[in-house]
């Protein structure tokens, strides 16, 4: 029996809560995957905006150009938006992200107007510069682990076998993108990732620190922007721990370097 565990998917989400970009390889940097969640939309009260509040964000696809992000609407004929990789303003704003605060630079007024019109909500797009610091929860961090505008950790990892297990229980299967992982792997048992404490992807070290608590965002179809009760309803019947529905493992990493699809994963330490 082949027990090989292999990295099979890499996805970044440059703008928090918009569409993801599938990659063949990615550079791990100090705060996570290169370009992952370095941009975020905020409302006129300085609060972050996600699909939890605005499911229509799922309909905005993101792609990479040499010096810009390109945003397209998946279902409407709307002129695409090019977002410069370097903000065009020097305006720094303080924004609330979950229970804490962080900073961002407003990208441009043109960008703000496009998102406000398309999403029908007054909002601004901000960017986290290299000088800005947003730290991992101190209860789980190793020293001063940094993140971008993620919900709490730099990497989310899910095994394909875990999704297969869930889909076998659902009336209709759901795709992996509803869970928005950064890394997907093949091999091993369903929920194998629950127990990984220390592992390597290729030559790079990673640490599983906390199962990922799931919310209503997992019920939003990333193609249509429509909500349903699944898969959260079914997940809750067998993946509820301490009152939270868990699916996927939050991961920290050590050092910088490139990981690639096809890299072998070596488990160094497991929890009970």
Tens of pLDDT along the chain (272 residues) come to 457 999 999 999 999 999 999 999 999 999 999 999 999 999 988 899 999 999 999 999 999 999 999 999 999 999 999 999 999 999 999 998 776 788 999 999 999 999 999 999 999 999 999 888 776 766 766 666 788 899 889 999 999 999 999 999 999 999 999 999 999 999 999 999 999 999 999 999 999 999 999 999 999 999 999 999 999 999 999 999 999 999 999 999 998 999 999 999 999 999 87
Please state whether the predicted TM-score (pTM) of the whole model is above 0.85. Answer: yes
Neighbouring residues of 120: CB distance < 8 A, sequence distance ≥ 6: none
Give CA separation, 136 vs 128, 139, 154, in Å. Answer: 15, 8, 8
Please provide the CATH number assigned to the domain covering 6-270. Answer: 2.40.33.20
If we measure between CA atoms, which residue out of 226, 214, 213, 215 comes closest to residue 172?
A: 226
Sequence ranges of the domains in the chain = 6-270
The backbone torsions φ and ψ at residue 116, rounded to the nearest 5 degrees and listed phi first, read -60, -40
């Amino acid at each position: 029996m082949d027990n090989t565990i292999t990295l099979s998917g890499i996805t970044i989400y440059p703008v928090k809560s918009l569409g993801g970009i599938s990659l063949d390889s990615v550079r791990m940097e100090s705060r996570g995957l290169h370009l992952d969640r370095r941009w975020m939309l905020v409302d006129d009260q300085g609060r972050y905006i996600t699909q939890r509040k605005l499911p229509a964000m799922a309909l905005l696809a993101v792609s990479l150009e040499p010096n810009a992000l390109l945003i397209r609407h998946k279902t409407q004929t709307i002129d695409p938006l090019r977002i410069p990789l370097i903000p065009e303003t020097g305006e720094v704003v303080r924004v609330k992200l979950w229970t804490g605060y962080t900073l961002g630079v407003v990208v441009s007024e043109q960008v703000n107007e496009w998102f406000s019109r398309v999403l029908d909500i007054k909002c601004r797009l901000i960017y986290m510069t290299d000088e800005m610091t947003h730290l991992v929860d101190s209860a789980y961090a190793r020293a001063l682990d940094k993140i971008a505008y993620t919900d709490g950790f730099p990497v989310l990892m899910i095994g394909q076998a875990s999704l297969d297990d869930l889909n076998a229980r659902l009336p209709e299967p759901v795709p992996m993108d509803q869970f928005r992982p950064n890394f997907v792997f093949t091999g091993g048992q369903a929920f194998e990732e629950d127990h990984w404490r220390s592992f390597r992807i290729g030559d790079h070290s990673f640490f599983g620190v906390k199962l990922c608590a799931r919310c209503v965002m997992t019920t939003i179809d990333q193609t249509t922007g429509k909500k349903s009760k699944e898969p959260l309803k079914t997940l809750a019947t067998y993946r509820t721990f301490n009152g939270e529905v868990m699916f996927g493992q939050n991961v920290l990493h050590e050092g910088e370097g490139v990981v690639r699809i096809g890299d072998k994963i070596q488990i160094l330490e497991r929890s009970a």
